[in-house]
Amino acid sequence: MRHHAGFGSGCVAAALLLCAGLAVAASGTSPETVGVVVKKTAIRKDRQFYAPAVAEAVFGDRLTVLDREKDWVQVKSGPATGWVHATAVTEKTVKASGAAAASGVSSEDITLAGKGFNSQVESEYRKKNPGANFAAVDRMEKLGASEQEIAAFARAGELEPRGGGR
């Protein structure tokens, strides 16, 4: 009687892998998700603020976590896979409910509150920093730059990423 080397062990290995996969599926462990806590954020190709965007996520979107590296979270949103900065997401679910929803509180207000910034915090900051030019900050918040303009600026200035970029 002739035995084929590896045939029996290959079947056993395949059966073990199949059982392990079924055990994980049966455990009911759902993938980790995070919620977007900013008005909108780019899902980027790489762990850099000026990396090209592959998709966009908005306040309240839930994203599936694939990996974490330093201050960046690799996520999947629909068919898109990319990186978002950890400050743009939270493990908590943030949504307007009850009185907040009825009063028409904006998602931006909820985002700021979720990050611990509210009118009381701003008032205290103004008291401690009377020389701060809040009108200039308000004007800067209204400025915008396209992905291409940001990338061109970074290239022209020979900027290198630090703290988590490649």
pLDDT digits (tens, 9 = 90+) for 83-135: 999 989 988 765 555 555 555 555 555 555 555 555 666 777 778 878 888 78
> Looking at the whole model, is its pTM more than 0.75?
no
Q: Is the dihedral of CA 38, 40, 162, 47 positive or negative?
A: positive
Structure confidence at residue 101 (pLDDT): 53
Read off the pLDDT band of 17 (50, 70, 90). very low
Contacts of 156-161 with CB under 8 Å at 24 or more apart are 159/50, 161/47, 161/48, 161/49, 161/50
Q: What whole-number distance in Å separates Cα of residue 147 and Cα of residue 63?
A: 22
Percent of the chain with pLDDT over 70: 61
Does position 20 have pLDDT exceeding 50, yes or no?
no
Question: What is the CATH topology of the domain spanning 33-156?
Answer: SH3 type barrels. (2.30.30)
Read off the pLDDT band of 160 (50, 70, 90). low
